[in-house]
Amino acid sequence: MRGVRRAFPGVLALDGVDFTLRAGEVHALMGENGAGKSTLVKVLTGVYPRDAGEVRLNGELIHPASPQDAQALGISTVYQEVNLIPGLSVAENIMLGRLPRRWGRIDWRAVNRRAEVAMDRLGLHLDVTQPVGSCSIAIQQMTAIARALDVQARALILDEPTSSLDAKEAQNLFAVIRKLRDEGLGIVFITHFLGQVYDIADRITVLRNGKLVGEYETASLPRLELVARMMGRDPDEVAALESARPADAARAEQRTPFLSVRGLGRRGSIRPFDLDVAQGEVVGLAGLLGSGRTEAARLLFGADRAETGAVTAGDRAGVPGSCRQAIAWGLGFCPEDRKAEGIVPNLSVRENIALALQARRGVLRRLSRKQQTEIADRYIRELNIVTPDAETPIRSLSGGNQQKALLARWLAADPRLLILDEPTRGIDVGAKFEVAKAIEELRAAGMAILFISSELEEVVRSCGRVAVLRDREKIGELSGPEVSAQGIMATIAGAAH
């Protein structure tokens, strides 16, 4: 790709970008939220036309007008916002548009068999006839990847494919990627997990504000340098940011209890568990994917109905029967699936941010337009949300910036207990520091926080205490000096405690 340019109203998303993908390499495309990574992918694959520049495949100029065009040219893509049809089975989603036929009819046995083979390749053995909508986000992501791998491709583009995967699933995917690379495919890999870049990428291209910063061999670009290039800062500044450890303060202080959970549970969701969170405390929920972290949070928030147990939250006691009631009790819940449960795509950034606060105040105490704008502008500034203004529809923001706006919604609602389920999924390193800082400030101001993250370093950094889950059961709790990535892993493995 040479001199590629693409503008949106108020934003120059790509400003004369060059990008070269070789056959037989894994090429990481890196940059902060809103840097232009997804837009580059979409221009390459015909989702958006380009305003200027040229794209060549094996030396030939190409002009794909749609993802189908691109696919016919051998460019296969998994987009950041995975698009599957929830009511169709995993197998149908994998084979959609190329369902094998026999005697003029769809050959369902062949459909299911090929889908099973595709999932097997990713190390997943599951019932491919179940509807994809009932699967976890991780399985949905794997389904989209399996779909891309099922076609003969020369280039494979993966836009944040590992955002919902745990370490083991990511390693399975990497094994497949390495094999494809050795078969001569060119692979573009976008992620905000820096460790993965060093694990798998041969070369790195960095974008910043729609411009090319540079192209590097992974081996000759140390991590700090990479982060500094992405953020447009000095490596020394980055080192200082990384060494800050806000959790130290969280461990020392005296606290008043706020939330106390006793024997809360639901069949098929999570075994009855106890949990306490005090004001001014950040408690982590750690465990592998599917261990019951989200399920625990949903019971607490009344999103699913608990069958046993009870909750005390401040001076309220009982079991929240609905999200509305949980909000009235002073609870907030920033869910992990921003597309399905979080953003309202056609509303503006302002409206999306004001939503939870408005729900808490009730219909009779309407926030004025001016109040909404003030709140939105404040969080756009504090969390560095890249948007032309607060009136832009949230769907046109980059994925990571949507995530930040969602976080802003719950920060603005000022709950007494905030549940954060994977709040940093898809957000860039700089913003992760901002989020860690925001959490620490809220904690210091007396908020109780329940923090769910698959990134153990994050859990360790922010949490004074960690409840560990495995197979939908709480199996232990670590506090103070016991809180370490190793300690958590050991508890999950059942070796210690």
Ligand X SMILES: Nc1ncnc2c1ncn2[C@@H]1O[C@H](COP(=O)(O)OP(=O)(O)OP(=O)(O)O)[C@@H](O)[C@H]1O
The footprint of ligand X (CB under 6 A) covers: 8, 11, 13, 31, 33-39, 80, 386, 396-401, 428
Strands 270-278 and 257-266: antiparallel
Contact 330, 313 (CB under 8 A): yes
Contacted entry of Mg ion, ligand X, none for residue 487, CB cut-off 5 to 8 Å set by kind = none
Least Å distance between CB 349 and Mg ion?
17
Contacted entry of ligand X, Mg ion, none for residue 164, CB cut-off 5 to 8 Å set by kind = none
Per CB under 5 A, 80 contacts Mg ion: yes
Contacted entry of ligand X, Mg ion, none for residue 34, CB cut-off 5 to 8 Å set by kind = ligand X
Query: 87, 112, 84, 117: which is closest to 99 by C-alpha?
Result: 112
Nearer to Mg ion, 161 or 399 (CB): 399
Per CB under 5 A, 161 contacts Mg ion: no
Sheet holding 203-208, edge to edge: 75-78, 155-159, 186-190, 26-30, 203-208, 211-217
Q: Kindly report the CA angle at 285 between 281 and 290, in degrees rounded to 5?
A: 165
Contacted entry of ligand X, Mg ion, none for residue 35, CB cut-off 5 to 8 Å set by kind = ligand X
Least Å distance between CB 387 and Mg ion?
14
Nearer to ligand X, 425 or 465 (CB): 425
**Phi, psi dihedrals of residue 470, rounded to the nearest 5°:** -150, 135
Nearer to Mg ion, 38 or 112 (CB): 38
Share in percent of the chain as helix, strand, coil (round to 5): 40, 25, 35
Amino acid identity, residue 432?
Answer: K
* Span from 96-104, 122-130, 394-402, 452-460 in contact with Mg ion (CB under 5 A): 394-402
Least Å distance between CB 247 and ligand X?
26
Contacted entry of ligand X, Mg ion, none for residue 397, CB cut-off 5 to 8 Å set by kind = ligand X
Contacted entry of ligand X, Mg ion, none for residue 299, CB cut-off 5 to 8 Å set by kind = none
Least Å distance between CB 158 and ligand X?
13
Strands 331-334 and 417-421: parallel
Per CB under 5 A, 112 contacts Mg ion: no
* DSSP-based three-state secondary structure for 286: strand
Contact 319, 303 (CB under 8 A): no
Q: Identify residues 35-54 at the interface with Mg ion (CB under 5 A).
A: 37-38
The residue assigned the tokens 């060059």 is: 18
Contacted entry of ligand X, Mg ion, none for residue 161, CB cut-off 5 to 8 Å set by kind = none
Least Å distance between CB 386 and ligand X?
5
What is the Cβ-side half-sphere exposure of residue 290, based on CA atoms within 13 angstroms?
Answer: 11
Least Å distance between CB 3 and ligand X?
17
Nearer to ligand X, 35 or 119 (CB): 35
CA-to-CA distance for 85 and 96, rounded, in angstroms?
10
Among 399, 430, 464, 487, contact with Mg ion (rule: CB under 5 A) = 399
Least Å distance between CB 29 and Mg ion?
9
Query: 95, 115, 177, 164: which is closest to 136 by C-alpha?
Result: 164
Least Å distance between CB 397 and ligand X?
5
Per CB under 5 A, 163 contacts Mg ion: no
* Span from 71-79, 164-172, 194-202, 390-398 in contact with Mg ion (CB under 5 A): 390-398
Least Å distance between CB 426 and ligand X?
6
Residue number with the shortest CB distance to Mg ion? Answer: 38
Distances, alpha carbon 178 to alpha carbons 145, 181, 453, in Å:
15, 5, 27
Q: Name the DSSP letter for residue 368.
A: P
The residue assigned the tokens 């869910």 is: 335
Residue number with the shortest CB distance to ligand X? Answer: 400
Q: Identify residues 316-375 at the interface with Mg ion (CB under 5 A).
A: none
Whether the CA torsion 333, 339, 345, 349 is positive or negative: it is: positive
Contacted entry of ligand X, Mg ion, none for residue 335, CB cut-off 5 to 8 Å set by kind = none
Per CB under 5 A, 402 contacts Mg ion: no
Least Å distance between CB 42 and ligand X?
7
* Span from 10-18, 29-37, 318-326, 345-353 in contact with Mg ion (CB under 5 A): 29-37
Residue 477: how many other CB atoms lie within 10 Å: 18
Q: What is the DSSP string of 131-174?
A: BGGGS-HHHHHHHHHHHHHTS--SEEEEESTTTT--HHHHHHHH
Strands 60-61 and 270-278: unpaired
Contacts to Mg ion by CB under 5 A: 37-38, 80, 398-399
